[in-house]
Structure formats: C-alpha cells, structure tokens
C-alpha cells in the first residue's frame, strides 16, 4: 500500500507518481504484462496547488459517440460537480497504458479529499 499526501503538490506530479506505483514500475520485479496489485491511496486531494488560470482555462472533453455529442467542461465546474477526486482519477487514468490491465489497475486506486 502506497500512500501519497497531495497537500501543497501539483496535480500532475502526484498523478504521475500514483501511475508509476499502480503499474508496479517502482519494483525490480516489474512485468508489463501483469498487474502488480499495488494499492495507492491519495490523501488531501482537495488541498493541491492549482493556479486560478488553470481552474478557469483547463477544459475536459468527453464524447458520447453521437453527432454533436461533444461535451466540454471547465476544471472548476468539474470540481464543483464531482470533486477533486474525479480530476485525479482522470489524470491517472490517462497515464496508465490503454490495455486490458487498465481497469484492474484503476480499481487499486483510492482517493480521499
């Protein structure tokens, strides 16, 4: 179990560290085709250091698959709607390789605000 305290740190630094632990790249027994089973807990997610410009200008995009189905949402609106845990989840999800192991690796992530 790896515990990361996010208080006063930037989102990307914490997310990349968590992604490395989830993939098991910190271990000398790393095998890319196996799930390491490492569990990661992120504490104080709501106390990260974020500039006001990023809160206003960063846009999260999702697509429903239908014509005209692109939805855009600013960082601050996503945080207001879902909390900082969702922002961390999206950042770490994007850093994990897109293969069959991604879903199982993300199950080992716990984020507390």
The low-confidence residues of the chain, meaning pLDDT below 70, are none
For domain 2-111, is the CATH number 3.90.1180.10? yes
Q: How far apart are CA 18 and CA 23, in angstroms?
A: 9
Q: What is the pLDDT of residues 15-27, one digit of tens each?
A: 999 999 999 999 9
Exposed/middle/buried for residue 98 (C-beta within 10 Å: 0-12, 13-18, 19+): exposed
Q: What is the pLDDT of residues 57-75, one digit of tens each?
A: 999 999 999 999 999 999 9
DSSP string, 62-95: EE-SSTT-EEEEEHHHHHHHH-HHHHHHHHHHHH
Q: What pLDDT is recorded for position 6?
A: 97
* pLDDT on residue 29: 93
């Amino acid at each position: 179990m790896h515990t990361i305290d996010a208080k006063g740190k930037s989102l990307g630094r914490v997310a990349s560290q968590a992604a490395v632990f989830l993939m098991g790249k910190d271990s000398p027994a790393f095998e890319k085709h196996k799930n390491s089973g490492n569990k990661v807990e992120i504490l104080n997610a709501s106390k990260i250091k974020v500039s006001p410009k990023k809160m206003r200008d960063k846009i999260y995009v999702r697509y429903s698959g239908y014509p005209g189905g692109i939805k855009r949402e600013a960082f601050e609106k996503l945080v207001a709607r879902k909390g900082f845990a969702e922002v961390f989840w999206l950042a770490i999800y994007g850093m994990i390789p897109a293969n069959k192991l991604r879903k199982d690796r993300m199950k080992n992530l716990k984020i507390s605000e």
